[in-house]
């Protein structure tokens, strides 16, 4: 570390990687404005910022997908330029993305070594070496996945491990983790953090991007805060309190994160009895009362979304009984569910929630067309009126109601989805991971809004993988484990440990 | 527009930013729209034809020119809806062959004109139902299904007719392909105009049309919003079959005979017309107005080339090139636009 003198920072070690004065300008937007960031070997640096603060742009520059308009990148104090993604890989920068693209029909080994598989002397893929190397990589991640297995036979958490193994299969000194925990449950996050700790011990410099403060404090040593494309603060997490970082991030104090208000809970609205599905869930029973927020907690793949999609008519239960307001209800399509007053805000907004190229008002009015139209003919004025009502109520930010939903930010797209369902005047609203991928400022707004809906007498089922959200918002929590009910907990029984134990199947004699 | 804000919500409306209903569409953007560009092309071809041939600017010649596109356009309107919904029907020309064969066989048995029309249209509907069942019932990909039924329907026609031809249609049957409503305006042209209006209303002014667009843009979101996706698709195949049956009546009536090779290769021209009309081959966007203009453009081009004695093979090459260029143009343009934004 002969170059240590070049560094004015208190640490003796020079950063493995340093970005100085990096700017990136898109038409009309300065996505990054002279930001600085330094990653040290053997340490985790957390990159914190709201959506749109420039985190993704920075990752794309570091991985060679974008080229900066100004500034320099220093690798071991030597200036480097990454002209493309391969350039970044060659320099030893690797990234684990939030949603990594893997191939279902290839084996685990092939997925890990796709594009850089070891070759025999004849230039063919050296399967033996590849599988051996893949196996040792997976072993290093403390998992027993066979490299010869097809990816489609793995669970979601196992796939994630394969994605991590893929990122580590190239010789790399710098690892970027872009919201790696977004799709993971608590147990899987713990496993991931053990891996991160191991990588640290190997001397890798890690950039960790997350929305979740508890994780950041758990795993990272240093932080950099971005706001509106500028780096507004950096330092060691040990010296910084959470409030201080939140203030840096949003530029103001954030009100209480979970504005759950006490609502008088009424009689049961929806009763689910012995719901079964051939593969996804078995023997699920619960009731949902007026004004109640029922949390639905569990690991990924526990069957939470699946049971809710059955309630919404997307899939059909193999047996079971559903009653609403005491009357039997048969739901064979989502049209039936909407007519009965049950609506579902899906987890994947862009994929299931909206038609991105279509105007806001056409998306908003879609499930309410029977009300806005007259004998099958559209009435644009009625659609616009309906959309305006909910756009204003949700404080939607858009240039006009006729612009495509795809031009809006993620948070505003979510508002369009929620608005379109509220417009149907539902009795029961199912929210599947309502704040996934949403920054902290918008999160509080979404939570406030959920409370408001409950206060108006709506019944809410909220699927969430985030414990603080479940604990903060729910009146009762149904925990699911591998398709079975693992307990229904009242608000006064709620604590993190109980829920996690139920969700992971460690009931230890509790019944 | 601000006067429209809900009075019950006025206090919050003042603190929040009012969102206008629509942005004023800039004049330049209207000018650059596909439909307007196509209209300019149509006018240019019209003028070029007028200079190229002294026979072109004659009311009866122009009326003859419309026969080059009216039958195909009838199918193209239904095909437009199908392609917007993200599906395609390549069996339309084969449906014409089968419907025409059925009508020919019925004419041999001495059935009258009304029965023949019913049989032609009914055969079209039945073929559409087969396609619809295979695609929306069994959830098979439409491109493969309709390549299969294309071969199947025309194969049936060949099996019945071999190298023979049906003729001997009743005299009154000739009206659909040869009759005139007033002056130079043929029955086919009148049917084309009526169908254009009906399909434009169906696509642009009804709930059904909105569902077609949503399915094409995002079939998942459509399903999650209570749109009966499979039912809509089935209806669209039925409509395409129906329009193919109607086209079969017109074409058979115009030719006065049925051979199994009737309307050979029309599926290509129909799809070309739809895509040229600005309907995205990827689904989700386009207008009936565009298809109407595209019908005129293709009719004028083929008629103009015919007046110049260009052989049929060259026309086929021309249609093929037109299809590839019109599919590639918007996609390449979008990619270049995306690159310049980066």
pLDDT at A437: 66
In a domain, A346, yes or no: no
Instruction: Write out pLDDT tens, residues A161-191.
Output: 888 888 888 878 899 988 877 667 777 788 8
Which residues, in sequence order, are CB contacts of A92 under 8 Å at separation 6+? A75, A170, A171, A172, A173, A174
pLDDT(A242) > 80: no
Examine the domain organization and report whether A228 and A165 are in the same domain: no
Lowest mean pLDDT among A357-371, B65-79, B80-94, B314-328: B314-328
Q: What is the CATH classification number for the domain harbouring A502? A: 3.40.50.300
Show the tokens assigned to A472. Answer: 């903060």
Q: Which residue of B has its CA nearest to A338?
A: B226
Contact B120, B102 (CB under 8 A): yes
Instruction: Write out pLDDT tens, residues A12-70.
Output: 467 889 999 999 887 656 788 899 999 999 999 999 877 667 888 898 899 888 899 99
Taking CA atoms, A446 is separated from A144, A251, A473, in Å, by: 40, 19, 11
Number of helical H runs and strand E runs in chain A: 17, 20
Examine the domain organization and report whether A326 and A294 are in the same domain: yes
pLDDT(A260) > 80: no
Mean pLDDT for A415-421 is 90
Show the tokens assigned to B279. Answer: 């309907």
Q: Provide, as residue numbers in chain A, all residues whose Cβ is less than 8 Å from the Cβ of B5.
A: 388, 392
pLDDT at A498: 80
pLDDT at A479: 92
pLDDT at A190: 83
Taking CA atoms, A489 is separated from A154, A453, B44, in Å, by: 31, 22, 74
pLDDT at A3: 42
Instruction: Write out pLDDT tens, residues B112-150.
Output: 999 999 999 999 999 999 999 999 999 999 999 999 999
Contact B132, B140 (CB under 8 A): no
What is the DSSP secondary-structure string of A307-360? Answer: HHHHHTTSS--SEEEEEETTEE----SHHHHHHHTEEEE-S-IIIII--TTSBH
Examine the domain organization and report whether A160 and A291 are in the same domain: no
Q: Provide, as residue numbers in chain A, all residues whose Cβ is less than 8 Å from the Cβ of B8.
A: none
Taking CA atoms, B226 is separated from A304, A340, B274, in Å, by: 21, 12, 28
How many Cβ atoms sit within 10 Å of the Cβ of residue A41?
19
Lowest mean pLDDT among A428-432, A468-472, A505-509: A505-509
Instruction: Write out pLDDT tens, residues A448-502.
Output: 888 989 998 999 999 988 777 888 889 999 999 888 888 899 888 887 778 877 8
**Among the partner residues B208, B217, B220, nearest to A376 by beta-carbon distance:** B208
**In total, how many domains does chain A have?**
4
pLDDT band at A7 (very low <50, low <70, confident <90, very high): very low
Contact A100, A161 (CB under 8 A): no
In a domain, A348, yes or no: no
How many Cβ atoms sit within 10 Å of the Cβ of residue A276?
16
Examine the domain organization and report whether A322 and A448 are in the same domain: yes
Q: What is the CATH number of domain B59-341?
A: 1.10.3470
CB distance A402–B12 less than 8 Å? no
All structural domains of chain B with their residue ranges: 59-341
Lowest mean pLDDT among A73-87, B90-104, B182-196, B255-269: A73-87
In a domain, A321, yes or no: yes
pLDDT at A99: 64
- Residue that wins the pLDDT comparison between A351 and A276: A276
In a domain, A134, yes or no: yes
Domain final residue, candidates A253, A280, A308: A253
pLDDT at A269: 92
Predicted ipTM? 0.83
Contact A270, A287 (CB under 8 A): yes
The dihedral through the CA atoms of A210, A216, A219, A220 has a sign that is positive
The chain-wide mean pLDDT, for chain B, equals 88
pLDDT(A123) > 80: yes
Examine the domain organization and report whether A371 and A469 are in the same domain: no
The chain-wide mean pLDDT, for chain A, equals 84
pLDDT at A342: 94
In a domain, A316, yes or no: yes
Going by their DSSP bridges, the two strands A293-298 and A459-463 should be labelled as: parallel
Mean pLDDT for A412-432 is 91
Examine the domain organization and report whether A185 and A248 are in the same domain: yes
Mean pLDDT for A105-134 is 87
A377 has a chain B CB within 8 A of its CB? yes
pLDDT band at A237 (very low <50, low <70, confident <90, very high): confident
For testing the chain A interface, which of B20, B204, B225, B232 should be mutated: the one with the most A CBs within 10 Å?
A: B225
pLDDT(A281) > 70: yes
Show the tokens assigned to A268. Answer: 């049961």
Taking CA atoms, B157 is separated from B99, B160, B255, in Å, by: 9, 5, 17
Mean pLDDT for A187-204 is 85
Mean pLDDT for B288-295 is 95
Q: What angle do CA B279, B283, B289 make, to 5 degrees?
A: 25
pLDDT(A156) > 50: yes
Examine the domain organization and report whether A496 and A443 are in the same domain: yes
pLDDT at A5: 43
d(CA A20, CA A22): 6
Examine the domain organization and report whether A153 and A194 are in the same domain: no
Domain final residue, candidates A402, A424, A446: A424
What does chain A come to in residues?
511
Strand partners, B166: B258
Examine the domain organization and report whether A119 and A6 are in the same domain: no
pLDDT band at A388 (very low <50, low <70, confident <90, very high): very high
Instruction: Write out pLDDT tens, residues A286-325.
Output: 999 999 999 999 877 788 889 999 999 988 889 999 999 9
d(CA A441, CA B193): 55
Q: Which residue of A has its CA nearest to B340?
A: A27
Domain final residue, candidates A229, A253, A277: A253
Mean pLDDT for B271-296 is 93
Query: Which domain covers residue A65, as residue numbers?
Result: 1-92+173-253
pLDDT(A195) > 80: yes
In a domain, A385, yes or no: yes
In a domain, A350, yes or no: no
What does chain B come to in residues?
342
Strand partners, A489: A477
Q: Provide, as residue numbers in chain B, all residues whose Cβ is less than 8 Å from the Cβ of A66.
A: 342
Q: Which residue of A has its CA nearest to B5?
A: A388
Residues of B within an 8 Å Cβ radius of A: 4-6, 9, 12-13, 16-17, 19-23, 205-210, 213-214, 217-218, 220-228, 284-285, 341-342
Q: Provide, as residue numbers in chain B, all residues whose Cβ is less than 8 Å from the Cβ of A377.
A: 205-207
* pTM: predicted TM-score of the whole model, two decimal places: 0.75
Using alpha carbons, select from A7, A16, A97, A27 the residue that is nearest to residue A69.
Answer: A27
For testing the chain A interface, which of B224, B337, B341 should be mutated: the one with the most A CBs within 10 Å?
A: B224
Using alpha carbons, select from A275, A273, A350 the residue that is nearest to residue A306.
Answer: A275
Lowest mean pLDDT among A25-34, B264-273, B310-319: A25-34
Mean pLDDT for B84-92 is 97
pLDDT(A100) > 70: no
Using alpha carbons, select from A41, A31, A43, A40 the residue that is nearest to residue A71.
Answer: A31
In a domain, A166, yes or no: yes
Examine the domain organization and report whether A385 and A504 are in the same domain: no
Lowest mean pLDDT among A372-386, B3-17, B242-256: B3-17
Mean pLDDT for A271-288 is 90
- Taking one residue from A and the other from B, the number of pairs with CB-CB distance under 8 angstroms is 112
pLDDT at A378: 93
d(CA A502, CA A508): 9
pLDDT(A74) > 50: yes
pLDDT at A205: 92
Helix (H) or strand (E) holding A50: none
pLDDT at A507: 56
Q: What angle do CA B330, B196, B150 make, to 5 degrees?
A: 70
Contact A74, A20 (CB under 8 A): yes
Examine the domain organization and report whether A3 and A87 are in the same domain: yes
Examine the domain organization and report whether A412 and A478 are in the same domain: no
pLDDT(B9) > 50: no
């Amino acid at each position: 570390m002969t170059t240590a003198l070049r560094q004015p920072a208190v640490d003796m070690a020079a950063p493995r990687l340093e970005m100085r004065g990096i700017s990136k300008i898109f038409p009309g937007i300065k996505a990054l404005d002279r930001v600085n960031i330094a990653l040290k070997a053997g340490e985790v640096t957390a990159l914190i910022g709201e959506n749109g603060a420039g985190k993704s742009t920075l990752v794309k520059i570091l991985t060679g997908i974008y080229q900066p308009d100004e500034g320099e990148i220093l690798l071991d104090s030597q200036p480097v330029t990454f002209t493309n993604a391969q350039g970044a890989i060659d320099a030893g920068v690797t990234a684990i993305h939030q949603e990594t693209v893997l191939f279902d029909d290839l084996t685990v080994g092939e997925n890990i070594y796709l594009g850089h598989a070891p070759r025999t002397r004849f230039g063919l893929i050296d399967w033996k070496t590849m599988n051996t190397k893949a196996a040792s990589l997976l072993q290093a991640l403390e998992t027993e996945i066979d490299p010869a297995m097809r990816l489609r036979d793995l669970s979601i958490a196992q796939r994630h491990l394969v994605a991590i193994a893929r990122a580590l299969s190239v010789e790399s000194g710098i690892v970027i983790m872009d919201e790696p925990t977004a799709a993971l449950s608590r147990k899987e996050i713990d496993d991931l953090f053990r891996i991160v700790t191991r990588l640290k011990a190997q001397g890798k410099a890690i950039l960790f991007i997350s929305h979740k403060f508890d994780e950041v404090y758990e795993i990272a040593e240093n932080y950099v805060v971005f706001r509106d494309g500028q780096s507004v603060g950096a330092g060691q997490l040990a010296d910084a309190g959470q409030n201080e970082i939140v203030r840096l991030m949003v530029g103001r104090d954030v009100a209480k994160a979970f504005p759950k208000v006490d609502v008088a809970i009424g009689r049961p609205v929806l009763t689910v009895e012995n719901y079964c599905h051939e593969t996804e869930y078995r023997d699920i029973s619960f009731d949902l009362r007026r004004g109640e927020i029922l949390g639905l907690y569990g690991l990924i793949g526990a069957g939470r979304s699946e049971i809710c999609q059955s309630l919404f008519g997307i899939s059909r239960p193999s047996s079971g009984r559903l009653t609403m307001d005491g009357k039997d209800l048969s739901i064979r399509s989502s049209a039936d569910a909407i007519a009965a007053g049950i609506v579902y805000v899906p987890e994947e907004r862009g994929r299931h929630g909206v038609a991105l190229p279509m105007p806001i008002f056409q998306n908003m009015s879609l499930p309410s067309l029977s009300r806005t139209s007259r004998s099958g003919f559209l009435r644009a004025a009625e659609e616009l009126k309906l959309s305006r009502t909910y756009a204003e109520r949700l404080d939607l930010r858009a240039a006009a109601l006729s612009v495509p939903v795809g031009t809006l930010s993620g948070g505003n797209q979510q508002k369009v989805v929620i608005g379109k369902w509220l417009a149907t005047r539902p009795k029961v609203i199912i929210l599947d991971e309502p704040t996934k991928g949403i920054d902290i400022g918008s999160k509080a707004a979404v939570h406030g809004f959920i409370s408001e809906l409950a206060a108006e007498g709506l019944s809410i089922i909220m699927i969430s993988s985030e414990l603080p959200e479940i604990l903060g918002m729910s009146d009762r929590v149904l925990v699911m484990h591998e398709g079975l009910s693992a307990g229904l907990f009242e608000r006064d029984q709620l604590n993190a440990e109980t829920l996690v134990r139920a969700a992971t199947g460690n009931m230890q004699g509790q019944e | 527009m601000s006067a429209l804000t809900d009075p019950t919500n006025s206090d919050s409306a003042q603190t929040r930013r009012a969102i206008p209903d629509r942005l004023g569409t800039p004049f330049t953007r209207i000018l650059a729209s596909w439909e307007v560009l196509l209209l300019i092309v149509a006018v240019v071809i019209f003028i070029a034809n007028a200079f190229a041939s002294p026979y072109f600017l004659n009311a009866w010649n122009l009326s003859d020119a419309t026969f080059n596109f009216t039958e195909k356009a009838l199918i193209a309107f239904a095909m437009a809806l199908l392609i917007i919904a993200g599906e395609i029907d390549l069996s339309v020309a084969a449906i014409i062959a089968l419907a025409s064969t059925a009508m020919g066989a019925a004419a041999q048995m001495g059935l009258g004109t009304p029965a023949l029309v019913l049989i032609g249209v009914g055969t079209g509907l039945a073929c559409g139902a087969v396609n619809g069942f295979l695609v929306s019932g069994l959830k098979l990909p439409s491109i493969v299904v309709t390549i299969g039924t294309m071969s199947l329907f025309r194969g049936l026609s060949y099996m019945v007719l071999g190298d023979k031809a049906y003729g001997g249609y009743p005299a009154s049957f000739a009206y659909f392909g040869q009759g005139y409503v007033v002056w130079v305006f043929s029955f086919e042209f009148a049917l084309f105009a009526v169908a254009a209006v009906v399909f434009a209303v169906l696509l642009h002014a009804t709930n059904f049309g909105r569902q077609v667009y949503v399915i094409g843009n995002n079939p998942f979101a459509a399903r999650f919003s209570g749109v009966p996706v499979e039912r809509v698709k089935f209806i669209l195949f039925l409509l395409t079959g129906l329009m193919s049956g109607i086209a079969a009546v017109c074409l058979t009536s115009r030719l006065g005979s049925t051979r199994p090779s009737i309307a050979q290769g029309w599926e290509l021209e129909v799809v070309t017309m739809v895509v040229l009309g600005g309907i995205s081959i990827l689904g989700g966007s386009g207008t009936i107005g565009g298809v109407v203009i595209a019908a005129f453009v293709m009719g004028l081009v083929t008629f103009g080339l015919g007046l110049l004695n260009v052989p049929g093979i060259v026309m086929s090459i021309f249609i093929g090139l037109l299809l590839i260029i019109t599919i590639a143009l918007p996609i390449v343009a979008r990619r270049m636009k995306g690159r310049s934004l980066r």
